[in-house]
Structure 1
């Protein structure tokens, strides 16, 4: 499946809620989800009844778009989650939450996951002192993710951290805004992960 290159806000409107793909714009009154609270397209305002399969598909697309994952990657995460002991849906979300680009976003090193992914790819982050430029890199409890010395002077990173600090950080993540580092205190449990995602529908969809 090819990478989506259209307007990010169109994806939010299609899923019927904010996916926080555009950084600070998502928290303003200019957010298209607020201005035009209906699906995009010619018939967006009068879409009919959605089937059970359609509801499950939309939820899968929503989760995938929130984390910026392509279909092939998403299926591999689901396969890995289904092979481990535990609740498959929760394990799937945990895999996604512990991606390095998501950690960078949660810690405020990028105003959106797309920007955080760019920070990672440009080699601006280290994990336990070692530079890592792979967005899908899986961090573990106890790992320390930090911004490199050179990148600490980047205005966009500093601005993103300041904005994130005002909103607060996840309980499972300890962030030092001055040192621009984050320590993974523990792997997140379901209550500490996004509550507006219904991972059970994804499991039901892939189990058919």
Structure 2
């Protein structure tokens, strides 16, 4: 699956907010948007008024960049969300939150979604005891996500276990940091998804 490989700090500056794409660095003074709080490029410091279409487009791009997925895959998620019962925008965010790489990040087993994606791709995680190396795998309530036994002894995962012990996962997840294991308690509700996205704007964009 294709992915963005350019400078990620540029994406935060383009959207005008921290997207927390580089993990711990985003919380330090080295964060690019803290030092240069304007859009990248030659005309980045110029003030431009966005059109209605531009506002909706920026919201969609923001969602794509937060979850690290490309346009074609994002469109497929939207089409799936439309077919499900309930509010389309909330269905869309719920699908994105259920991605395995996002769940690994939410559990505290990675410092960013990009790192979580890489760890999943390298086969470090199991779902219900079976190795899963597909970042877009959608978890279900009751699923248990765990670090593989062979990976637990590595210094990287020992460090992540210590970090996870100090992080609080969202209410729809349960984590056992000491054993590098987590469980999906339920599907997330909108108030449990703390991403700065106005999903109704994305629905309006695709409904045109």
Q: TM class, shorter-chain normalised? A: over 0.9
Q: 1:202 to 1:37 in 2, by over 3 A?
A: same
**Structure 2 partner of 1:46:** 46
Give the count of matched residue pairs: 208
**Structure 2 partner of 1:191:** 191
Alpha-carbon separation, structure 2, partners of 1:75 and 1:30: 34
| 1:118 CA drift (Å) | 0.9
User: How far does the alpha carbon of each residue in 1:4-43 deviate from its partner, in whole angstroms, 9 at most, with x for none?
Assistant: 2211100011011111110100111211111111111111
- Tell me the TM-score normalized by structure 1: 0.96
Q: 1:161 to 1:46 in 2, by over 3 A?
A: farther
| 1:163 CA drift (Å) | 2.9
**Aligned ranges 1:154-193 → 2 under 5 Å:** 154-193=154-193
**Structure 2 partner of 1:22:** 22
User: How far does the alpha carbon of each residue in 1:94-125 deviate from its partner, in whole angstroms, 9 at most, with x for none?
Assistant: 00000011111111221111110111111110
The answer for unaligned runs of 5 or more in structure 2 is none
**Aligned ranges 1:100-111 → 2 under 5 Å:** 100-111=100-111
SS in 2 for 1:18: coil
| 1:190 CA drift (Å) | 0.1
**Aligned ranges 1:42-191 → 2 under 5 Å:** 42-191=42-191
User: How far does the alpha carbon of each residue in 1:117-164 deviate from its partner, in whole angstroms, 9 at most, with x for none?
Assistant: 111111110001111111111100110000001111222333234334
Runs of 4+ with >4 A deviation: none
Q: 1:136 to 1:10 in 2, by over 3 A?
A: same
Verify the 8 A CA contact 1:100 1:137 in the aligned structure 2.
yes
Taking only aligned residues, the RMSD between alpha carbons, in angstroms, comes to 1.4
| 1:2 CA drift (Å) | 6.0
SS in 2 for 1:141: coil
Q: 1:130 to 1:3 in 2, by over 3 A?
A: closer
| 1:168 CA drift (Å) | 1.8
The answer for unaligned runs of 5 or more in structure 1 is none
Alpha-carbon separation, structure 1, partners of 2:61 and 2:70: 10
Alpha-carbon separation, structure 2, partners of 1:64 and 1:185: 25
Verify the 8 A CA contact 1:110 1:161 in the aligned structure 2.
no
Q: 1:190 to 1:56 in 2, by over 3 A?
A: same
